[in-house]
Structure 1
Amino acid sequence: MSPFTTHVLRIATGRAETVTDLTDACADFLSGAAAGRDGLLNVFVPHATAGIAVIETGAGSDDDLLTALHHLLPADDRWQHRHGSPGHGRDHVLPALVPPHATLPVVNGRLALGTWQSVCLVDTNKDNPDREVRLSFLG
């Protein structure tokens, strides 16, 4: 086994703001890449308008996150970065609040997440419906 393995996920987020759960895709990747070993999983989105969050999903927290981002980063004409959809400049500020990466512990080949934690792609950019997420295991 190589101490470093990487894989790119291609995610279609569509034309709406989304929180996409990547936890199962991370687990699938680790089943082969980690093969029972301890290490670190880095999740990275190489886009200037998306981020990675570790949050609870399915109980409304994902929608709450999008609502909070709307309050913090309104989609209006206040932004100096003005190409694309109205308010698109806020999408370029998003990675300062929801970083484009997360590094997570892997124990015995599995993500060591808390009971309610999920790894999610946060994408508020309605102009870019196709995303890549790089998963890298070091162990």
Structure 2
Amino acid sequence: MAVINKIIDIQTHQGINIHNITPQIESVVASTSIQNGYVLVFSRHTTTALAVNEDEERLIQDIKVFLEKLAPLNDRYLHNDLHLRPNIPPDEPKNAHSHLMAMMLNNTEIIPIVDGKLGLGTYQSILFFELDGARKRTILCQVYGE
């Protein structure tokens, strides 16, 4: 069995934005000789997330509204009392809401590889969620198989 690690870089925007990263993951898999196995997709940040779902414009808007209801930006959060936290850099954002949203989602997805292709269903896409931004983000892809 082979294990191949690749990093995907993505530039995000401020606030909640959702990126379909399926083409990048397909490219990672295609760059390997793996025909059957899986790809583990891992978000390396505490205010981002991953999901397998439909990439449909109106659903994406519904997801954003849903997440904003779960953890409203303007609620009171202890994490945002920056003056009470030690060793805080001067550019630290007030982003407790982003951390809470990320906890409600996944930071990892595992997608099967079948005959050298992602084993996704008809309407499934791999979605990357920026819940804070704007930043350069990295996603680790670990392709495993034979």
Instruction: Tell me the TM-score normalised to structure 1 length.
Output: 0.89
CA distance in 2 between counterparts of 1:39 and 1:97 reads 28
> Any idea what the Cα deviations from partners look like across 1:85-119, whole Å, max 9, x if unmatched?
45x10111123211111111110111111111100
Larger Rg: 2
Q: How many residues align structurally?
A: 135
Q: Secondary structure at the match of 2:78?
A: coil
The answer to whether 1:119 aligns with 2:117 is: no
CA distance in 1 between counterparts of 2:73 and 2:38 reads 36
CA distance in 2 between counterparts of 1:21 and 1:15 reads 17
Alpha-carbon contact 2:70-2:101 (below 8 Å) kept:
no
Q: How does 1:10-25 map to 2 (within 5 A)?
A: 10-25=9-24
CA distance in 1 between counterparts of 2:57 and 2:96 reads 29
Give identity over the alignment, percent: 22
> Any idea what the Cα deviations from partners look like across 1:37-58, whole Å, max 9, x if unmatched?
1101100011011100111113
What is aligned with 1:72? 70
What is aligned with 2:105? 98
Alpha-carbon contact 1:55-1:61 (below 8 Å) kept:
no
CA distance in 1 between counterparts of 2:108 and 2:59 reads 19
| Runs (5+) with no aligned partner, structure 2 | 83-91
CA RMSD of aligned residues (A): 1.6
CA distance in 2 between counterparts of 1:60 and 1:117 reads 15
| Runs (5+) with no aligned partner, structure 1 | none
What is aligned with 2:43? 45
CA distance in 2 between counterparts of 1:96 and 1:129 reads 19
